[in-house]
Amino acid sequence: MPGQPELLAACLFYFEADGVTEKSIKEISGLGVENTPAQEVHGSSKSGKIWRQATPTVTKFTNITLKVIATADVDLYQWYQKCNEDMGTPRQWDQNRKSASVVAYNQQLTEVARWNIVNCYPVKYTGPTLTASSGDMATETVELVHEGVKRVK
C-alpha cells in the first residue's frame, strides 16, 4: 500500500546502557508506562447527585526484563552486584544508574524506533538453567528498575 509505513519485525532490536554494549540480546520485555486514574466518588452535591471524576495519579513504570545469551563476560552480573550486594561494602546503586536505550531496526537495518530509559539499574539477576540434553543457548536474565521510559523515535 502506498503511504503505509514499514511494519517493525520484533526480531530486529538491540539494548545498550552506558558501558554495557556488544551483548547478544534474546528478549526484552516490560517497556511500559502506566497511570492508573483515581476514579472513586469525590462527593455528593445538591439533590444527592454523586460527583466523580477520573483524575490522573502517579505514573508507574514496569520493570524491564532483559534476557541475554550468556558468555564469559561478567559485566551484567558485576553491575547487579555493585548495585545490590552489601557484603561488607555499601551498595553503590546510586552511582551505578545508567542511561539506556532499546532500538528497533527495519529490514534495511536502519534505526526506526527508540525507547530511552532513564537512570536504570539491575534489581534482579538470574543465571542460566543448564541442562545436558538441551540444544538451547544459556541465557542470563536481568531485571531493571528505572525512572522513566520515553519513546523518542
Cell numbers 534505526 label which residue?
Answer: 111
Q: Is residue 6 part of a domain?
A: no
Give the pLDDT of residue 87.
Answer: 67
Asked if residue 79 is part of any domain, the answer here is yes
Ramachandran angles phi, psi of 20, nearest 5°: -115, 100
Range of the domain at 72: 13-151
Closest CA to 140 of 85, 76, 67, 83: 67
Three-class SS state of 13: strand
Counted domains in the chain: 1
CATH label of the domain that carries residue 23: 2.30.110.20
Whether 58 is in a domain gets the answer yes
pLDDT surpassing 80 at residue 134: yes
Three-state SS for 90?
Answer: coil
For 51-89, write each residue's pLDDT tens digit.
777 778 888 999 999 999 999 999 999 999 989 877 667
Q: Looking at this protein, which amino acid is placed at residue 3?
A: G
Residue 141 is which amino acid? T
Cell numbers of 51, please? 460527583
Whether residue 2 is contained in a domain is answered as no
Please indicate whether residue 142 or residue 91 has the higher confidence score (pLDDT): 142
Give domain status of residue 136, yes or no: yes
